[in-house]
Structure 1
Amino acid sequence: MNFKEEINKSSIIQTISLLADENKVAVFMVGGVVRDLILKRERHDLDFLVIGDSLEFAEKVAKRVGVKKVTKYKNFGTAHFKFENYDIEFVGARKESYNRYSRKPIVEDGTFEDDIKRRDFTINAMAVSLNKNNFGELIDLFNGYNDLQNKLIRTPLDPFQTFDDDPLRIMRAFRFAAQLEFTVDDAIMNASREMRERLRIVSQERITDEFLKILSSPKPSIGLKLLYDSGVMEIIFPEIHNLAGVDQRQDYHHKDVFLHTLIVVDNISQVTENLWLRFAALVHDIAKPQTKKFVEGIGWTFHGHEELGAKMMKNIFHRMKLPLNKLDYVEKLIRLHLRPIALAKEEVTDSAIRRLIVQAGDDLQDLITLCRADITSKNPQKVEKYLANYEAVMQKVLEVQEKDKLRAFQSPVRGDEIMRICNLKPSKKVGEIKKAIEEAILDGIIENSYDAAMSYLMKIKDNFIKDDDSK
């Protein structure tokens, strides 16, 4: 198979090809770029394998195309620079060996075959020659092309050796399966089950990065299910592993909480690429195992799972080294995910809508998106009914927002005014009065306006200050 026509369109590849022959070195386009070339996927990072001095060759290419800054890693024989909209990396052919207790390889010079067989999967172990005598020719020592056609993730060597060298490749296998919607070879699954404990030598940052890439894929359930089936989920995210086998009412949910969660994540992934909304979908029922209780005549209940689930997030974010600036967002969505469901089941009052608007704030639309994804019934009539109810709730939200001007809600009368009028010092009592005004607005007792709030303050202030000690 030859890709001469496809790759000859690139000026940087033409330049690399000319310099390879001028300098009498063999150069290959290698790895993911070849895979994506075959799959016709766009890619902006290009990797080149040099049989020779890769650092020197990279300098020559950079000079020829007018790039002044080349980043070199002499210990690994790699060099990197940016050109136009490409990230370009050159690596010398090498072989690697590993200490069992470290992911850092011992690197030595090697042959073309040494370099290709050290790669993680057959679909990433293909190369395309850039030398003139066989320009564009596919070199495929491990049948990666056939695996691409068969949508199969397989390792070039025995997966036990591949994973023993670098245990993170276990997660990479599942990540590629999710991203490409491929299946995973049985030998990989067997090795993953037996070697999952080896992941403990991998840094949390690298594990979390692969996990979030699975969650960002077109159909995350593929990777999440593989993590569970291999036992890896128990190592990297035990709270999600523990959802499996937890029964719940068969209403608009799937009976098993883990399987239900997979459907919710896939549902939400069809309508948003917001990673943290997807993450909220993954963890929205995370506290159900701890709150599970059987009630006669009802079945299994999970009272308070939304509040406990939100409280669990802080430890999970710290342990998994997730970005803490996303913590409040995820906590809020977990804490509120039952609220719109309750509103969708009953006659909606303005007061209930006001409270939902204020509590959800700018994340109200994301909350409703999560709630829609949470409908996993196989009964189309039930799905249609709940979706219609959500539309009614959102219509009511728009009406109340417009009428009550609740977008940036807080008491129109500020704390300093309350202190002046009531002759109070800064104290808890000031907050209580302010909250009473806000509650009156939310309950529809008064309008959301300064005049109405001030009038209400004058009406209630004596009840608060008659026995206050802070004056």
Structure 2
Amino acid sequence: MPNTEFSSETDTAKQEESGATRPAGTLTGEQRAAITALLDAVRPVSDELGERFAAHDQQLAVVGGPVRDALLGRASNDVDLTTDAVPQRILELVDGWADSVWTVGIEFGTVGLRKKGLQVEVTTYRSESYSPKSRKPDVHYGDNIHDDLLRRDFTVNAMAVRMPSQEFVDPFGGLADLAEGVLRTPGRPEDSFSDDPLRIMRAVRFAAQLGFELAPEVAEAARDMADRLSIVSAERVRDELVKLLLSPDPRRGIELMVELGIAPYVLPEIPKLRLEIDEHHRHKDVYEHSLIVLDQAIELERARGHEPDLVLRLAALLHDVGKPKTRAFEGPGRVTFHHHEVVGASMSRKRLSALRFPKDVITDVSTLVALHLRFHGYGKGEWTDSAVRRYARDAGSQLERLHILTRADCTTRNRRKAAALARAYDDIERRIEKLAEQEELDRIRPDLDGNEIQQILDVKPGPVIGRAYRYLLELRLENGPMSKDDAAAALRTWAAEHL
């Protein structure tokens, strides 16, 4: 077993050359134990592969996120390795040792492999840069770990542990920044964001994910260079947005996106929610309201035992995006947003499509946005059972999310009003549960299928079948389940009047 005493590698000359002035930190006993645990978790890679590379005069190190997370005491599912060996050399060194190898990312210097159930990626030291109008980076291989760490996004991700020596490498003060909870770049932030503009988005994502603050120079560069995000592919931006929304504090990330002028290049609808408010037409701050709804949806999500839910969080954030387009002033002190849920559903669909979200996510989010006001017609429980059935049917598979979103959408400070709304929604949920037990609401269908309608009416397939089907569905929603005979009799009566 390798020696578990850690040394720290620094290179003062190179630090001064790169502009970095923060010295490498010293690992505490607890941090050394965390690094040991990290390497234990990636055996046999940390032993066998490290020694295999060393025997052929090639460097190998665990790098980036896994090191950061180990030092933070966070679990990490990724194992990222870096080396001075070029991809073809990596393939030669793992040939006959790895259980399987894949080369999907070899164009960017990455070779994937699996050994005894452990999956890792090995990437050649490299630097990446984007030309002003390019969406794809130019990749250049390097020959030393210092320069590889210099091109990393933030100092807290620019730490490594060499294998098999277990030497801790921290040339840019990442350990100190980790302790301070600050995001800094290894070199100038302008250079870092120019090399890969997505790092601007990644900065706000890490703020939400890790609870870190952006160093002033990082925030300033992000604000000045936000327009560079326009050259990044929608898929990469989407992936960062997803990670931000699934983080412990997505509100923090959204606020930073708006404050730094990043949102117009990702979710331009969000800053537009900051409607001006005047003394004659008072209404809620829609932007602040949307953030509170997001917070409350997350609280309810956790209270109900759900995992972080992307669809719910997107719907909470976007549920009122239709308000700016539908705002109208109707007399002194009165402002309306008629049909903003319909407009908002269309806008949500358009935005999520532009960000290349999967079709099911787009459909589910837009459905929730379209339905988020439906409950407010419930009043004091005057809805008939058929209205409750329609509510559940229209929500379909999104009913549980709609329950959470509707409850989260109550942000009034009037305790009496809030309590009344909560009681009303408690009532509708109880009624839905009761009806569901009786009728399996999520499977509501007419009591006769298309073939049966065709036989009873003695008609050929065509529009008549669809009209009859919709009539029977409405009948089912209005009256509950019917016997086949009763449904057939009702169908004949309807046909006599309408055909």
CA contact (8 A) 1:128 1:138 kept: yes
**CA–CA distance in 2 between the matches of 1:61 and 1:74?**
14
Match for residue 487 of structure 2? 453
Report how far residue 35 of structure 1 moved.
Answer: 0.3
Name the TM-score, length of structure 1 as normaliser: 0.87
| Stretch deviating more after TM superposition (262-271 or 393-402) | 262-271
Q: Which runs of 5+ in 1 are unaligned?
A: 466-471
Alignment of 1:198-209 (within 5 A): 198-209=228-239
CA 1:167 to 1:440, structure 2 compared with 1: closer, same or farther past 3 Å? same
CA contact (8 A) 1:55 1:78 kept: no
SS at match of 1:396: helix
Match for residue 208 of structure 2? 178
**CA–CA distance in 1 between the matches of 2:449 and 2:222?**
59
**CA–CA distance in 2 between the matches of 1:70 and 1:459?**
66
Match for residue 117 of structure 1? 150
Amino acid at match of 1:268: A
CA contact (8 A) 2:353 2:362 kept: no
| Stretch deviating more after TM superposition (330-339 or 3-12) | 3-12
SS at match of 1:461: helix
CA 1:97 to 1:460, structure 2 compared with 1: closer, same or farther past 3 Å? closer
Does 2:414 match 1:385? no
**CA–CA distance in 1 between the matches of 2:125 and 2:268?**
39
Q: Which runs of 5+ in 2 are unaligned?
A: 1-26
Match for residue 183 of structure 2? 153
Match of 2:196 among 166, 180, 188: 166
Match for residue 295 of structure 2? 266
Amino acid at match of 1:201: I
**CA–CA distance in 2 between the matches of 1:165 and 1:363?**
41
| Stretch deviating more after TM superposition (420-429 or 139-148) | 420-429
Match of 2:285 among 248, 256, 259: 256
CA contact (8 A) 1:55 1:77 kept: no
Match for residue 429 of structure 2? 394
Match for residue 370 of structure 1? 405
Match for residue 331 of structure 2? 296
| Stretch deviating more after TM superposition (90-99 or 209-218) | 90-99
**CA–CA distance in 2 between the matches of 1:196 and 1:17?**
40
Match of 1:188 among 202, 205, 218: 218
Alignment of 1:60-459 (within 5 A): 60-61=93-94, 63-64=96-97, 66-71=98-103, 76-102=108-134, 103-132=136-165, 135=166, 137-245=167-275, 255-270=284-299, 271=301, 272=306, 273-296=308-331, 299-343=334-378, 345-444=380-479, 447-459=481-493
Report how far residue 231 of structure 1 moved.
Answer: 1.1
Report how far residue 393 of structure 1 moved.
Answer: 0.8
Amino acid at match of 1:259: E
CA contact (8 A) 1:341 1:371 kept: no
**CA–CA distance in 2 between the matches of 1:422 and 1:284?**
44
Report how far residue 117 of structure 1 moved.
Answer: 0.8
Report how far residue 203 of structure 1 moved.
Answer: 1.1
Report how far residue 171 of structure 1 moved.
Answer: 0.6
CA 1:406 to 1:235, structure 2 compared with 1: closer, same or farther past 3 Å? closer
CA contact (8 A) 1:28 1:127 kept: yes
Report how far residue 67 of structure 1 moved.
Answer: 2.2
Report how far residue 150 of structure 1 moved.
Answer: 1.7
Q: Deviations over 1:278-334 (max 9, x none)?
A: 222222112111111123366222111112222334432332211123333222212
Amino acid at match of 1:330: V
Does 2:51 match 1:33? no
| Stretch deviating more after TM superposition (219-228 or 322-331) | 322-331
**CA–CA distance in 2 between the matches of 1:227 and 1:50?**
35
CA contact (8 A) 1:285 1:305 kept: yes
**CA–CA distance in 1 between the matches of 2:105 and 2:268?**
37
Does 2:36 match 1:5? yes
**CA–CA distance in 2 between the matches of 1:433 and 1:53?**
68
**CA–CA distance in 2 between the matches of 1:424 and 1:163?**
67
SS at match of 2:224: helix
**CA–CA distance in 1 between the matches of 2:139 and 2:469?**
65
Q: Deviations over 1:209-266 (max 9, x none)?
A: 11122112122111111111111111222222311226699xxx99211221122223
CA contact (8 A) 1:151 1:182 kept: yes
CA contact (8 A) 2:47 2:164 kept: no
**CA–CA distance in 2 between the matches of 1:143 and 1:118?**
14
Name the TM-score, length of structure 2 as normaliser: 0.83
Q: Deviations over 1:164-184 (max 9, x none)?
A: 111111011111111112222
CA contact (8 A) 1:94 1:111 kept: no
Report how far residue 127 of structure 1 moved.
Answer: 1.4
SS at match of 2:442: coil
Report how far residue 41 of structure 1 moved.
Answer: 1.6
Amino acid at match of 1:407: D
Paired positions, count: 457
Report how far residue 403 of structure 1 moved.
Answer: 3.6
Amino acid at match of 1:199: L
**CA–CA distance in 1 between the matches of 2:265 and 2:354?**
12
**CA–CA distance in 1 between the matches of 2:318 and 2:498?**
42
CA 1:427 to 1:40, structure 2 compared with 1: closer, same or farther past 3 Å? same
Match for residue 45 of structure 1? 78
Backbone CA RMSD of aligned residues: 2.8
**CA–CA distance in 2 between the matches of 1:74 and 1:289?**
47
Report how far residue 345 of structure 1 moved.
Answer: 4.7
**CA–CA distance in 1 between the matches of 2:446 and 2:83?**
67
